[in-house]
Amino acid sequence: MSQVNMAVDFGGVKMKNPINTASGTFGQGWQFSELMDVSQLGAITTKGCAAEPWPGNPAPRMTEVRGGMMNSVGLQNPGVEAFARDYGPWLDELTGKGTQVICQVAGHSTEEYVRALEMFDELCPWAAGFEINVSCPNIAAGGAACGSTPDGAAEVMRACRKVTDRPLFVKMAPVRIPEISRALEAEGADGLTVINSIPGMAIDVHTRRSKLSKPTGGLSGPLCHPIAVRMVWEAANAVDIPVCGVGGVMTGEDAAEFILAGACCVSVGMASFVEPDASVRILRELEEWAESQGVRDINELIGAFEC
Amino acid sequence: MPNPSPARMHDFEVVTNEKIADGIFSLVILAPRLASALKPGQFVNVRVPGDASELLRIPLSYVAADPQAGTVEIWYAVVGNGTQRMSEWKPGFKSDLLGPGGHGWCVPEDASRVLVVGGGIGVPPVLCLARDLAAAGVAVDACVGAATADKLVGVEDFEALGCGTVRVATDDGSAGSCGFCTDPAAELLAAGGYDYVATCGPGVMMSKVAQAAADAGVYCEASLERMMSCGFGACSTCNVETTSGMQGACMCGPVFDASKVVVW
């Protein structure tokens, strides 16, 4: 047992420790159930899901790049009804073991976000909160098209805020972080998830074709980490609501950087593909780091970065 | 809740790692629990350390598993930096893998005569199946293709089964007939008598085999390859477009009912 209190409050979601999982990298959790003890985590964030099923993009959806990967999944999902029916019982049981479940909400328009959130609110009573994805780089409408301006992000947040009293978070695009953070806080967001994957391109020069089925994809992995740390720091300086840091966390020290930059919790992403139980290792390493800092509570280290 | 992948983490040690054809290696690893768990057509997702900038595992089929010896044999083609590093592994080298992944071939129980068609590095999963079927007394014919004679693998292994015809084709005619192995496969299928076809190789090859099997009214399965991030159903990247929608190769495959594959 850690000597340091690791519990954090992420905008009303009481997490027993700061480790969360990045949406889209952890399925709905059950995929990891035979490979690790998921209930050791503070929270998991499920793969984005819309009101109706989406088929996602054609293959290829992934290409590896130096220090990371690019994806163009396009938010393939079964729709909230099937999500709640097929995965709800396992997720409900997980919350009973003290791991909070945050469900990511996908949409092509404000109306679709609202519809999906209404369904989540009704069908997923076990969910601790919801993360609105206004930053997916791989869909033609919605996603980053909604969340890359303060006005666009605010419009979605304003409409979603009316749907539920449960904690609402926003998965942010890696652009205009201070302005958009402030706009979201003003519309009642309970916290911010910073950042979604970064739009990138990878071209096969022999065939002259994209290495993905679309011209661009979302870049993630350790090569994004320094950018994500900077953006978490910008968000944390811009608003009073808590921030979840996401981007290339492979070790406890990577997670610690986010905490020092101002994040209250940290999501593990690509590392879970390489090493399914990476999130649990990262939690142990983060605890060791917190102990090494001589604090009694990890909350003392949030934003404790000094220049 | 759907069933999680059968894949588990296994540490392994390299027993042998030898070149068997131009650009193709045979790797034998010691991994006893894995050797007992694998079924033909399943895959393993191998961690290839040595370059911190290349993180994802490499998904590979296997060609033989020996539960008594606790060993698994994998044939792989050197196509990138990761497989290049693998080709330098010496006996005693240690790493880990996730496996067995997905589900393998589902041969009808009453099948008595089977055709397998393998192209290039697609040969191992069909050879693995052919060995099991031959041991069970099933007649197995094989069509094996490669770009050149130097890149051919598995021909002697199929012949050693002694339970059917082995037809070879190379793109340049340096071994067997000149052309693709889809031509002898179509001939054999047209002649009739098969209960089942298994194929693995380039997408265009498998689509032609699937068409020839459909024309002959024979049930055909194909083992597909996709870029894969996790290999256990969490990432949604290894999608195959089927008549039932998008399905992940790692969980719904890698072996698919060929008549249901829309995009090869």
Q: What is the ipTM of this complex?
A: 0.94
Does residue B71 sit within a domain? yes
Residue B70: the pLDDT is: 98
pLDDT at A141 over 90: no
CATH number at residue A100: 3.20.20.70
Q: Residue A155's closest CA among A189, A121, A127, A116? A: A189
| SS3 state at B54 | coil
CB contacts of A73 in chain B (<8 Å) are: 235-237, 239
Range of the domain at A64: 8-301
Does residue B163 sit within a domain? no
CA distance A59 to chain B (A): 6
Does residue B249 sit within a domain? no
| SS3 state at B200 | strand
B43 φ, ψ to 5°?
A: -135, 165
CA distance A164 to chain B (A): 26
Mean local confidence (pLDDT), B254-258: 98
CB contacts of A71 in chain B (<8 Å) are: 229, 235, 237
Does residue A277 sit within a domain? yes
The model's confidence at residue A146, banded by pLDDT at 50, 70 and 90, is: confident
Does residue B18 sit within a domain? yes
Does residue B27 sit within a domain? yes
Does residue B56 sit within a domain? yes
Residue A307: the pLDDT is: 84
Please answer yes or no on whether B245 and A55 come within 8 Å at the CB atom. Answer: yes
User: Residue A29 has which token pair?
Assistant: 């959790």
Q: Residue B45's closest CA among B60, B24, B25? A: B60
The model's confidence at residue A144, banded by pLDDT at 50, 70 and 90, is: confident
Mean local confidence (pLDDT), A109-123: 97
The model's confidence at residue A140, banded by pLDDT at 50, 70 and 90, is: confident
Please answer yes or no on whether A30 and B1 come within 8 Å at the CB atom. Answer: yes
Mean local confidence (pLDDT), B53-65: 97
**One of A49, A124, A136, A146 is an active-site residue; which one?**
A136
Burial string for B183-211 (b: 16+ CB within 10 Å, else e) reads bbbbebbeeeebbbbbbbbbeebbbbbbb
DSSP B22: T
Cis peptide before B100 (omega within 30 of 0): yes
Please answer yes or no on whether B4 and A69 come within 8 Å at the CB atom. Answer: no
Q: Which of A273, A275, A277, A281 to mutate to test the interface with B (most CBs of B within 10 A)?
A: A273
Range of the domain at B51: 8-101
Mean local confidence (pLDDT), A13-29: 98
Query: Of how many residues is chain A composed?
Result: 307
Size of interface A-B (CB pairs under 8 A): 109
Taking CA–CA distances from A30, the nearest residue in chain B reads: B4
Does residue A141 sit within a domain? yes
Residue A1: the pLDDT is: 60
- Sheet containing strand A43-49, edge to edge, reads A19-21, A265-268, A243-246, A191-194, A168-171, A129-133, A100-105, A43-49
pLDDT at B194 over 70: yes
d(CA B148, CA A201): 35
Does residue B193 sit within a domain? no
Residue B172 sits at the vertex; the CA angle it makes with A204 and B223, to the nearest 5 degrees, is 55
Amino acid identity of A1? Answer: M
Please state the domain count of chain B.
1
Q: Residue A217's closest CA among A55, A21, A60? A: A60
Average pLDDT, chain B: 96
Taking CA–CA distances from B55, the nearest residue in chain A reads: A274
Taking CA–CA distances from A277, the nearest residue in chain B reads: B9
Mean local confidence (pLDDT), B217-230: 96
Please state the domain count of chain A.
1
Does residue B141 sit within a domain? no
Please answer yes or no on whether A68 and B55 come within 8 Å at the CB atom. Answer: yes
Residue A142: the pLDDT is: 76
Please answer yes or no on whether A270 and B233 come within 8 Å at the CB atom. Answer: no
User: Residue A66 has which token pair?
Assistant: 């130096």
Does residue A1 sit within a domain? no
Please answer yes or no on whether A272 and B54 come within 8 Å at the CB atom. Answer: no
The model's confidence at residue A42, banded by pLDDT at 50, 70 and 90, is: very high
d(CA B209, CA A75): 33
User: Residue A245 has which token pair?
Assistant: 């840091």
Beta-strand (E) ranges in A165-290? 168-171, 191-194, 198-200, 203-204, 209-210, 217-220, 243-246, 265-268
For residue A69, give the nearest of B1, B7, B229 by CB distance: B229
Does residue A242 sit within a domain? yes
Q: Which of A23, A28, A34, A75 to mutate to test the interface with B (most CBs of B within 10 A)?
A: A34
A264 is catalytic: no
DSSP A24-39: TSSTTSGGGTTTS-GG
Question: Greatest CA span in chain A, whole angstroms?
Answer: 57
Taking CA–CA distances from B49, the nearest residue in chain A reads: A274
Does residue A77 sit within a domain? yes
CA distance A192 to chain B (A): 23
CA distance A15 to chain B (A): 23
Residues 6+ apart with CB under 8 A from A220: A22, A25, A68, A69, A70, A71, A197, A198, A247, A248, A269, A270
